[in-house]
Chains A and B, each alone.
Chain A
Amino acid sequence: MRAAPHDPVRTLYRTLLVFDVVAILILAVGLAEFLYFEPPGQTTGVKATIVGVFQYDPATHITSGPDRRTFARTEEFAAVVDWSTLPQNIAVDARWYDSFEAIVGKVGPGTPVQLTAQTIIPVGVPAGLQHNLPGQYVFVIERLENGVPVEVLARRIVVVERT
């Protein structure tokens, strides 16, 4: 009795299936990572209050003008938060992200009471640059669980124009 001839294409096929197992593992790790940082069932219904995003003077630490959604590159700006609307037994922080998702401003973490004195959260100009980079900036107030942000309690998006 003769054995069936060996087909090398089948070896390629089986190799591809091995790669498949690795691919499934990678995607599974990715899904686990997503679920770790976005755990389901974390919605508390708590809403934070962002008073607005205003022009900011770093010398005096004072905001001025109306609540705005766009700024020029040369303008500095900051978000103003009302921490008093939040329950006092949760851990929170507030962060600014630039269009490269780099953190360019932050207060916390702490309880709302601990952060009462820090109602103005400015955007910092990255080291080595003269002005803010143009693009979309996202401001979020996050609730933390074991030090990991698990829920966004408030969010504002502003645009820094190129011109």
Chain B
Amino acid sequence: MSANPTLRAANPRPSSRPSRYGVAIAIAVVVVIVLVASSILDYVYLDTIPSRAALYGLLAVALVALGTFIGVRAFDRDPADRRRHLIRAGVLLGLAVLLWLLLIDVFVFTNSAGPTVATISALACLPTTAFGLFVVRRLDRNEKEPWRLVLVAFAWGAIVATSMVIWGESLWGAIAERTLVPGPGLDASNAFSAGLLEELAKGIAVLLLFLVMRNEFDDVVDGIVYGAAVGLGFNFMESIAYMTNLYAIFSPEGAGGYAAGFQWYARQVLGLFFGHATYTALIGAGIGIARQLPGRREKVIAIASGFLVAIAAHFSWDAWLAFFPVEGSVLGLVEIHLRTLIMTGPFTAAVVALLLSGIQIEARALADQLRKEAAEGSGAILPPDVDVLSSPWRRLTERMRALGKGGLRAYLALARLQTAQLDLAMERWHRERNEIEDPLEAEHELRRRVIELRRQAAA
């Protein structure tokens, strides 16, 4: 038996504080209730085609919920079972994505743009979004997040978050349209709606990852990565919706392809990192900073701050876009780039500033922990390893050298060893900062794993 009742967490949870899993379950229950209620209310009261999609889309939402649940459970199981559960979760999430795309095709756009246009739009958005996800994941130079979690975050943004906001925004918009004076006041109202509802719906995903997947959520860098992934998912689905919708509107005038192509460029090229990815990355930054703060009050303030900045960033774009009109000439091409740079650029710069600071802090801390581990002489990290492991470039050089000597098998073995060594350094960092609930035994287990991987790599 490996369980030891005398093991103490570095930062034991007070008995009065609810378990973070309990908080996560409560949030998940609220999300499901909101989705069910919004879909039914939409169908009954608004009876629009998108609302029907929301109703039938509940199956996709249920698949995402089940897939996420199985995916999370997989981490509490033996490694032998883990793979099986992860595959099941992946299949369910994949089915949900496909089902949702199918629903969009059939119920929202088939009557207007047709399934061919919807499919072409989705295919056009796939490479750009995949590139975005690749770049975002690469941002974490020291400890990349697992693809499965990045893709779960993406799926949430694309499927769950978009489903959550349909009813809220439809209702808000319908009321505002019937009560407010058209013009800047109505624009501001709609911008408040989009900023509040969309950022809350997207941010919940990052919050749930923070609560449930604490081992894979280390700091501000991880928060930004997960947040941007959620934003890219939302942007993916929104791009398809706008492309097909505008194609349907302008195709009778012979300008459908141009309208859809313009939307693709604006959202999948120019706005790939500047729009939703930036907004949700700001939420992720707040949650990532909260991860490493000691007091509950500061944690709550940091999380709320991330949401507030994201809501303001999103609001400013939606509300004040009309103040930066774009001419229908060649000059318009310059103007549209300048508009994005001026309006969203400062927020993206804020994310980049937090990211670079976070990477620097993380790199220094890991180097410090690597040195300490090497000095302790456990054998997991040797003194010559420290400089190599502290530099992403030198880690890559070593892996390439292993590739040259022993082929792909040697490369992968060294990659696994380096990842495990950095995991160990990260675990030490969290323990030193008193921000970890895992028992000390978990750290010993990591150390044993590193030594085993070193043995395998040497063989």
Contact = CB atoms under 8 A, between A and B. Distances in A.
Interface of A: 8-9, 11-13, 15-17, 19-20, 22-24, 26-27, 30-31, 33-34, 36-38, 73, 95, 97, 99, 101, 129-131, 133-135, 138, 140, 142, 149-152, 155, 157, 162
A23 to B, nearest CB: 4
Interface centre among A15, A19, A129 (most CB of B within 10 A): A19
Contacts of B312: 22-24, 26-27
A11 B293 CA distance: 11
Contacts of A99: 249
A130 B253 contact: yes
Contacts of B364: 8
A155 B180 CA distance: 10
A26 B312 CA distance: 6
A17 B181 CA distance: 35
17 contacts: A9-B220, A12-B358, A13-B298, A20-B308, A26-B315, A26-B316, A27-B308, A30-B191, A30-B319, A99-B249, A101-B182, A101-B186, A101-B187, A134-B249, A135-B249, A140-B182, A157-B178
Nearest to B254: A130
Size bin of chain B's contact surface = 35 or more
Contacts of B111: 162
Interface centre among A30, A151, A157 (most CB of B within 10 A): A30
B309 A20 contact: yes
B188 A34 contact: yes
A22 B353 CA distance: 15
Interface stretch (B1-9, B67-75, B284-292): B284-292
Interface in B274-296: 282, 285-286, 289, 292-293
A13 B253 contact: no
Contact of B308 (A24, A95, A151): A24
Interface string B291-332: 011000010011001101101110110010000000000000
Contacts of A151: 181
Given A13-B298, A16-B286, A23 B191 contact: no
B308 A23 contact: yes
A8 B183 contact: no
Given A33-B188, A37-B188, A20 B305 contact: yes
B170 interface: no
B100 interface: no
A33 B289 CA distance: 32
B322 to A, nearest CB: 8
Nearest to A74: B252
Given A33-B188, A99-B249, A133-B249, 17 more contacts: A16-B286, A16-B289, A16-B302, A20-B305, A23-B305, A23-B309, A24-B312, A26-B312, A27-B312, A30-B315, A34-B188, A36-B185, A131-B252, A142-B181, A149-B183, A162-B248, A162-B252
A133 B178 CA distance: 21
Interface in B358-411: 358, 361, 364
A150 B181 contact: yes
Contacts of B191: 30
A139 B185 CA distance: 16
B107 interface: no
A163 B406 CA distance: 65
A162 B189 CA distance: 28
Nearest to A129: B253
A12 B249 contact: no
A101 B190 CA distance: 12
A19 B350 contact: yes
Contacts of A20: 305, 308-309
Contacts of A16: 285-286, 289, 302, 305-306, 309, 354
A133 to B, nearest CB: 6
B181 A9 contact: no
Contacts of A162: 111-112, 248-249, 252
B19 interface: no
Interface centre among A38, A135, A149 (most CB of B within 10 A): A38
A11 B253 contact: no
B250 A133 contact: yes
B215 interface: no
Given A16-B286, A37-B183, A38-B181, A30 B192 contact: yes
A11 B354 CA distance: 10
B177 interface: yes
A152 B181 contact: yes
B183 A9 contact: no
Interface in B19-63: none
Nearest to A13: B289
Contacts of A142: 181
